[in-house]
Amino acid sequence: MALHTAFSGRTARASHLISEVAQTADELIVIGQGRLLAHATVAEFSATAGTLEDAFFKLTESASEYTGGIA
């Protein structure tokens, strides 16, 4: 999904594919459990753990367990 913002000329894209983000994005945000967890350039975020994928999993590891249920 891509959204064009009228004032800055930027495009926002939502993706769950880390490889796609790594190849197409300059900046990223990570939202977990309804909270903003990160807002950085791809390079800055990747530098925290070596790769973009490793950085993402490091940041979200506490939010990765599904806590919902089926009644």
* Sequence spans of domains, the chain: 18-62
Per-residue tokens: 26 = 């300059």
Burial of 36 (0-12, 13-18, 19+ CB in 10 A): exposed
State mean pLDDT over 52-59: 90
CA distance 18 to 21: 5
The string of pLDDT tens digits covering residues 7-18 is: 466 777 788 888
pTM exceeding 0.75: no
Kindly state the helix (H) or strand (E) to which residue 67 belongs, with its residue range.
none
For 1-71, list the strands marked E by DSSP.
Answer: 2-4, 11-13, 27-32, 35-41
The confidence score (pLDDT) of residue 71 equals 44
